[in-house]
Structures are given as C-alpha cells and as structure tokens.
Amino acid sequence: MRTLQTTPEGFALTLDQTFLPFERVELKLAQLEDCVVAIQTMQVRGAPLIGATAALGLAFALREQATDAALTAAWERLAQTRPTAVNLQWALARVGAAVTPLAPAQRAARAWTEACAILDEDVAANAAIGAHGAALARALVPRSGAPLQWLTHCNAGRLATVAHGTALAPIYALHAAGIAQHVWVDETRPRNQGASLTAWELSAAGIAHTVIADNAGGQLMREGRVDAVIVGCDRVARNGDVANKVGTYLKALAALDCAVPFWVACPSATLDPALMQGGDIPIEARSPRELSHIWGRTAQGQRVEVQLFPDTSAAFNPAFDVTPARLVTALITERGVCAAHQEALAALFPERFA
C-alpha cells in the first residue's frame, strides 16, 4: 500500500505522521499551503516523501495561477521548507523543467503528470533497493537458522517514501521470502521516528524488533548482536559522504570499530553531485522545543506533551549529521550496490555525474 496516494478528484491522501503510533489520522493535500505546512511540521517526512509532496504542491499551485511569477513564487515557497533533503530541490527542479517551456494554460496538467510520475518512480526505485539489499544481506543470514540481526536509525520505511521504504525495503523483501530477522530499532531522539514510526511499521508487518535507546547500539555491536547496520539518507555528496538523521555518524563509527557492515539505502534522487563533499551539505537546525518537550500517551490513553528539562537550560537541535564515505561499507541504489565514492556512483549513474 502506498503512503501517498493521488485520487481521481485530483488531490492526495497520506497519513499525518505526527499522530503516530497511537492515532491514525488521514491528511488531505489539495493546495500549495497544505504541502508547505505538511513538510515544515513533519506531518510528512523522509527525503523521498518530502520530494513527492513538494512535486504535488507545485502542481496544486499551478492550478490556481500558472504565470512565470506564480511558478517562481510557489517554487521558492516549497524550497524553503526543509534545507537538507535534496529530494525536495530535485523534485521541484524536475517539475519546473517540465512546465517552464509551456504556455500557462498547459502547465497545471503537465505538472500533475510529472508529479504522478515521480510518485510511481519512487515506488519502483524502492522495490529495486529492497531486492538489491536483500541479495546483499543473504550472505549474512546465520546458517544456524537464528534471525539475521539488523540495527536501524530513524525511519526509512514506507512512511518515509511513497511505498516500500529505503532502509527497510531489504528487510521487507527478506521477510516476504521467509527469512528470520530481528531489528534493533534506535528510538532516534528527539522526534523518536524509530520508536514511533519504524516500530509501528515493523509491528504491522509482523517483523520481530526491539526498541533501544540511541546510545545502546554501540554496545550491541561490541557484543556481536548486530549483523548489519542499515540506514537511509537525505543527501549524498559527489564523493560519497552521506547526510542522514543526526546520530548516524556515531553508528557508523561503532560499526567500523566492530567490523559490522554499515549500509546506506540510497535512491538516486538523494544524490547531489553538485556538492563535492559532505561538509558542503546544509544541516537543518530545528526548534529547541523538540528536545525540551516530548509527546506520549498516558495510562488513560490521552496524548499529551511533557517537558523534559528546565526552562533555564539552552538547547541545540541539529536534525542531521554527515557520515564520511570512508565509513560507509556500501550504498544500495535502485541500480545496484556500489562503494561510496565518485567513480562507483558515476559508473551506475553516468547521466548524473557527467
């Protein structure tokens, strides 16, 4: 089932992820501002889903007004919502390139067609990542019949994409093949996408998993209880450096020290050959309130927000970090598995690295 679905009436439906895992609330996207708010407030999140939502937002805007000035204004409005995930810029550029040569009267229909194509291609790319990642992981499946042990960080499942997911796609593929697995799920503070979203997804799929504190992963690797770490990504620089949810870098360091493979599920839409290295990737700093407050459910079933530390304490909340290419064992793309460096990426995606 798709996370983001278009309707015959010309709008889109998705889940409001800010209510998960305790409430399932459907979110309707029908105009530019719906998409802007959804991206900014993380009602939708995950690089592929952000890109798809932005593409739809541009299409919605052009239904209202399709002049050059209106196109530029809508583009800029969407581009400012989240700075790190390159899928956002990629999707806007793709839709913009498709409609700019056209007369204003033709633009809305063409933008909708292009946005729907982006959604369909995301589904296919993630299914391919699942197949390639599953083939890679089969070499690690214990011959004893014991479960293959994964460690994940943040949520890179179907909720972060149009369907299938990126980092969770190989896990889903192996599950469909009957391979026993267990997933250690990082809680992923401060927004708890692992505890709230990945755990919710794995529960729904019937895949064994255990939620852990973010700082527990290194010890599990040291004890030999992790066969592979797999994460998604929000942007990959030309040299193979990877931006992902903050805390990813620490997992990669621990994996290297413990000789555990560290794999990054990398759809081509997250590649940014224009940036030479990870240090050039803009890192989003989000509200300190995401650190100082947390949502949860009371014993009575009420959804409430509570404060974690004093008002007098400052907080800094970078949403992403950069993992150097040298720490990445492999990138899993829709065209296959490759090393995290420019030459390997260019061999798979020559049109992007020309």
The structure's pTM equals 0.95
Q: Which residue in 34, 122, 186, 234 is the catalytic one?
A: 234
- The per-residue pLDDT for 227 is 98
What's the pLDDT tens digit per position in 63-112? 999 999 999 999 999 999 998 879 999 999 999 999 999 999 999 999 99
Question: What is residue 84's predicted lDDT score, i.e. its pLDDT?
Answer: 83
CB 251 within 8 A of CB 213: no
Averaged over successive runs of 10 residues, the pLDDT of the chain (354 residues) comes to 93 96 96 97 95 97 96 96 90 96 96 97 97 98 95 97 97 98 97 97 98 97 98 96 98 98 97 96 94 94 94 96 98 98 96 88
pLDDT at residue 342, as a whole number: 96
Q: Residue 354's pLDDT is what?
A: 80
Closest to 275 in 3D by CA, of 237, 325, 326, 321: 237
Sequence-ordered list of residues with C-beta below 8 angstroms from that of 315, at least 6 positions apart, any chain: 288, 291, 292, 309
> Is the separation of the CB atoms in 244 and 186 below 8 Å?
no
Domains of the chain: 5-123 (1.20.120.420), 132-348 (3.40.50.10470)
Tens-place pLDDT, residues 57-69: 999 999 999 999 9
Smallest CA-to-CA distance from 245 within 163, 147, 160 is with 160
Whole-angstrom Cα distance, residue 140 to residue 229?
Answer: 12
pLDDT of residue 217: 97
Is 234 a residue of the active site? Answer: yes
